[in-house]
Structure 1
Amino acid sequence: MIATELATRLHIDPFVVGTPEPALCTNWDAELAAAEPALQAMAQQYERIFRDGGLPITALSRCAVALATLPIVARHRPDAVVVWFDAHADLNTPQNTTTGYLGGLALSGPLGMWNSGLGDGLKPENVILCGARDIDPPEQSLIDHDVITLVEAGPNLPARLQAAIGGRPVYVHIDCDVLQPGIVPTDYLVPGGLTLNDLSAVADMFALHELVGIEIGEFEAGQDATGVLIQPGPLLDALRPLLDTSWSSPRLA
């Protein structure tokens, strides 16, 4: 749904990677092995986009796809900061995960905290968590020791986030559960999230920076109280300053 809406708004044809498959609901290693062909294909598409001078505009199924995208971003744009909008930090590793959930390892892999087989190269100083609030103790330790920067939801969010970015180019990752529960349908409901107004204000700020790309994930198909399928239009309206930015050669992956 996100990809279809983006393609319509941007007047570009989507490049589709992978096909829908039933969830395995198993441990991270089995999930990673099953997803590897699609993840490798995503990495190859990102490689083509950056090699051709384009910028990726990506609709993700799950945050784990960032295992494939972020190493390519780090290789081609080592000057860029990845702003990770998510209710969760996704900084667990195979050694400390308590759930075995692959998505919980999505950011730690590109940071080289474990070997995903898809590369790394992302530097901790080039990562900013924004809106994270369901954080496990090992992840909190990285924040407490200033290895990873966290900008919490709350007043003056755009100004605080802008200060953390420090004028660097920006690659934006958005997990929809960063929003307050009920705004869009997501699997995880974590109170204390951003509003669409918060997201719009941040997008206005981002439009003042050089944008390296954007990926949007974890928007789940769902119905409102009347049974009508919830559309992603309001979410993308909030991100309009980003989408309207004049990119030289946008590609939708």
Structure 2
Amino acid sequence: MTTALTIFQGLAGDHNNLAIPGARSIGEHLGKLFDLPAVTIGSPEPALNTEWRTELNHALPTLHKLQQHFRKVVARGEKPLSATSRCAVSLATLPVISALHNDVCIVWFDAHADLNTPASTTSGYLGGLALSGPAGLWDSGLGAGTALEDIVLVGQRDLDPFEVDLIQSGRVCHIKPGGGLAEKLRLAIAGRAVYVHLDCDVLEPGIVPTDYVHPNGLSLEDLRSACEVLAESEVLGLEIAEFQNSWVVDGPPVSPEPLIQSLLPILRKFGQLA
């Protein structure tokens, strides 16, 4: 199986202008690592930084283009490796993956669960609805099909009441940061094929630049250990979101190389490294 490298460059609920160049940087580093060309979807625009409905309406044309591209990728039997800027891009990717693999385990690394709905959100942020749309809890216009029972949340520590209720109901698995994370992840996956979403704010603040900052996150070594567990399964795809290109607006670029090094156990599932 060959790998399809994709870089998303459109808006998807951006608060600022740092994740679009961040995704470009991630994609370029991955391209060099695998000696792979990348397909770019969308063009950079200034962030809107407004409520979810306006953000979604603006993003939908580009998200539909990405979804069409993803359908072609999986139809060709290729494995998607993507730099997706913001979590809301998953509104387009996950329905494609779940349609092809109805038993896939969606492993969602994030400081947040992103399982709010338009009715439950307290922030009005589109990214907070990124997983609930594919899970069919609301209609994003991009499809659904991801079963709550097939979602494994990893590293969440900023949860809203609606999300807490979903977790406490037992319908969604949640692995908190802390000791034994890798073994808990192994048990939760239970040998299933995995599709992996990485929001970089799952990491301890200060490791890489991110929009949201929440203490008590994962270390790079925690992430690497989790990737070693994931590599024990069939890996159907990986998307990396929310890496910002610098710590502050107009600041010097930050290399994603330490982050990518921590992902090597799973990246080796995508082919020979250059």
Q: TM-score, normalised by structure 2?
A: 0.88
User: Which residue in 1 is equivalent to 2:136?
Assistant: 112
User: Which residue in 1 is equivalent to 2:13?
Assistant: none
Partner amino acid, structure 1, of 2:147: K
Q: Counterparts of 1:223 and 1:34 in 2: how far apart (Å)?
A: 26
Please state how far the C-alpha of 1:147 moved relative to its aligned partner.
1.4
Matching residue within 183, 197, 200 for 1:176: 200
Is residue 105 of structure 2 the alignment partner of residue 81 of structure 1? yes
The alignment partner of 2:204 has SS state of: coil
Please state how far the C-alpha of 1:21 moved relative to its aligned partner.
0.9
User: Which residue in 2 is equivalent to 1:150?
Assistant: 174
Please state how far the C-alpha of 1:229 moved relative to its aligned partner.
2.7
The alignment partner of 1:15 has SS state of: strand
User: Which residue in 2 is equivalent to 1:2?
Assistant: 26
The alignment partner of 1:173 has SS state of: strand
Query: After the TM superposition, which parts of structure 1 deviate over 3 Å for at least 4 consecutive aligned residues?
Result: none
What is the alpha-carbon root mean square deviation over aligned residues? 1.3
Is residue 188 of structure 2 the alignment partner of residue 164 of structure 1? yes
User: Which residue in 2 is equivalent to 1:53?
Assistant: 77
Q: Counterparts of 1:168 and 1:219 in 2: how far apart (Å)?
A: 28
Q: Counterparts of 1:218 and 1:38 in 2: how far apart (Å)?
A: 18
Q: Counterparts of 2:68 and 2:46 in 1: how far apart (Å)?
A: 24
Q: Counterparts of 2:83 and 2:100 in 1: how far apart (Å)?
A: 20
Give CA-to-partner distance per residue, 1:72-122, whole Å, 9 cap, x none.
000011121000000001011011111111000000000000000000000
Q: Counterparts of 2:106 and 2:174 in 1: how far apart (Å)?
A: 12
Give CA-to-partner distance per residue, 1:186-221, whole Å, 9 cap, x none.
011000100000011111111111000000000001
Please state how far the C-alpha of 1:171 moved relative to its aligned partner.
0.4
User: Which residue in 1 is equivalent to 2:114?
Assistant: 90
Partner amino acid, structure 2, of 1:50: V
- Work out whether residues 199 and 238 of structure 1, in 8 Å CA contact, stay in contact via their aligned partners in 2: yes
Matching residue within 44, 63, 69 for 1:39: 63
Is residue 203 of structure 2 the alignment partner of residue 188 of structure 1? no
- Work out whether residues 130 and 151 of structure 1, in 8 Å CA contact, stay in contact via their aligned partners in 2: yes
Q: Counterparts of 1:29 and 1:112 in 2: how far apart (Å)?
A: 17
The alignment partner of 1:230 has SS state of: coil
Listed as ranges, the gaps of 5+ residues in structure 1 are 249-253
Is residue 231 of structure 2 the alignment partner of residue 207 of structure 1? yes
Cα 1:223–1:29 change in 2 (3 A) is closer
Q: Counterparts of 2:124 and 2:83 in 1: how far apart (Å)?
A: 24
User: Which residue in 1 is equivalent to 2:221?
Assistant: 197
Q: Counterparts of 2:226 and 2:145 in 1: how far apart (Å)?
A: 26
The alignment partner of 1:58 has SS state of: strand
Please state how far the C-alpha of 1:247 moved relative to its aligned partner.
4.8
- Work out whether residues 55 and 247 of structure 1, in 8 Å CA contact, stay in contact via their aligned partners in 2: no
- Work out whether residues 131 and 153 of structure 1, in 8 Å CA contact, stay in contact via their aligned partners in 2: yes
User: Which residue in 2 is equivalent to 1:128?
Assistant: 152
Partner amino acid, structure 1, of 2:64: Q
Partner amino acid, structure 1, of 2:246: G
Q: Counterparts of 1:38 and 1:192 in 2: how far apart (Å)?
A: 35
Give CA-to-partner distance per residue, 1:211-248, whole Å, 9 cap, x none.
00000000001159xx7532000000000111112559
Q: TM-score, normalised by structure 1?
A: 0.95
Partner amino acid, structure 2, of 1:176: C
Q: Counterparts of 2:181 and 2:34 in 1: how far apart (Å)?
A: 28
Give CA-to-partner distance per residue, 1:134-189, whole Å, 9 cap, x none.
00000000001111110111112111101001100000000000000000000110
The alignment partner of 2:89 has SS state of: helix
The alignment partner of 1:60 has SS state of: strand
Q: How many residues align?
A: 246
